[in-house]
Structure 1
């Protein structure tokens, strides 16, 4: 299954983005995976990715669209979040220290902990792409 969503850079659309992703996946894999657990995981990852685009990449240009692509093969999910921002140089990323109690920097850490693979590609045809991949575990039968 493949689907995509073009959505404005506005946090008021976050619920729409989440419902699109989770609804699309539940139709396909809801019976085969621990859906409540997996949907919470995916909701958090998508909320972090989308809100980063809105708050950072498109901060000064709210009319720019965000493109979100979803591909599902068996239980393997590939999610892409495309933006038109200047991009982020990951070589400058420093994971936040719990002692420092910093306000930001946790998104990259969260996405890498919750997904099997996270990749960020700068400036592909004028856009940036965050690629998130994971395999959903099957429901364990008692």
Structure 2
């Protein structure tokens, strides 16, 4: 299954972004994965990615669209978030130190912890692409216990 969403760069559309993702995933995976755990994980990753585009890449430019693509195959998920901003220089990223109590900089860390693969490409056909991939664990079916 493939789906995509074009949405403005405004946090008031965050609920629409979340509902789109969770709706697509629920249709595909509800009976085959631990839905309560996996939906929270994937929602957090998308919220982080989308809000970073709105607050940083498209800062003060709500007319710029964000393109979100989703591809599902078996229990594999590929999520792409495309923006038209300046782009993020990964060479300048320093992981946050929890003892410093800094407010920002956790998004990249969160995405890497929750996903199997995280890639960021600058200037692909005039846009930047954050690509997130994960394979969800299947729910194992237990044999009925004798009474």
**TM-score (norm. length: structure 2):** 0.95
Aligned to 1:64: 64
Residue 60 of structure 1 deviates from its aligned partner by 2.2
SS in 2 for 1:6: strand
Cα distance between partner residues in 1 of 2:20 and 2:60: 26
- Confirm whether residue 91 of structure 1 aligns to residue 91 of structure 2: yes
After superposition, the CA RMSD in angstroms is: 0.6
Structure 2 residue runs of 5 or longer lacking an equivalent are 143-147
SS in 2 for 1:104: coil
Computing the radius of gyration from Cα coordinates, the structure with the larger value is 2
Moved over 2 A (4+): none
SS in 2 for 1:37: helix
Cα distance between partner residues in 1 of 2:13 and 2:31: 27
SS in 2 for 1:18: helix
- Aligned pairs, how many? 142
Structure 1 residue runs of 5 or longer lacking an equivalent are none
**TM-score (norm. length: structure 1):** 0.98
Residue 140 of structure 1 deviates from its aligned partner by 2.6
Cα distance between partner residues in 2 of 1:14 and 1:128: 20
